[in-house]
Amino acid sequence: MAGARLLLDTHVFLWWRADSRQLKTATRGAIASADLVFVSAATAWEAGIKVALGRLRIPEAIAVGMADSGFEELPITVAHAEAAAALPPLHTDPFDRMLVAQARLEHLTLVTHDERLRGYAVDLLWA
């Protein structure tokens, strides 16, 4: 996807780092060829919470995986938070809602496997 600007959902980022077969070959190619790939601060936050609760194990810090992959950090701004809060209640996960808001405001394509995001007015690439 030359010219693409992507935002990875948390599971997509983790699949990328693990070289998981769950990530479609075409999607892996799109990520590899994108002009810019972002990982949200929401991903580090979500993963950190799941690690602390014992629901997720990751081999490295999110920041290390981002740097090793050449991905860019996408901070959370007040505008992102307000946009996430204003979204219709199609999805209740606050991290996914934040990713939708960030993708919309920053004109990014959200790479996800979460079908519940289909109802939002955001560009999606299916993982």
Whether 1 shows a pLDDT value over 90: the answer reads no
Q: What predicted TM-score, i.e. pTM, was given to this entire model?
A: 0.95
pLDDT (tens digit, 9 = 90+) per residue, 66-124? 999 999 999 999 999 999 999 999 989 999 999 999 999 999 999 999 999 999 999 99
Q: What are phi and psi of 38, to 5 degrees?
A: -110, 150
- Output phi, psi for 91, to 5 deg: -140, 135
CATH 3.40.50.1820 fits 5-126, yes or no: no
Per residue in 42-79, pLDDT (tens digit) is: 999 999 999 999 999 999 999 999 999 999 999 999 99
Residue 2 pLDDT exceeds 90? no
Domain ranges within the chain, ordered by starting residue: 5-126
Sign of the torsion angle spanned by Cα atoms 41, 45, 47, 51: positive
SS3 assignment, position 7 = strand
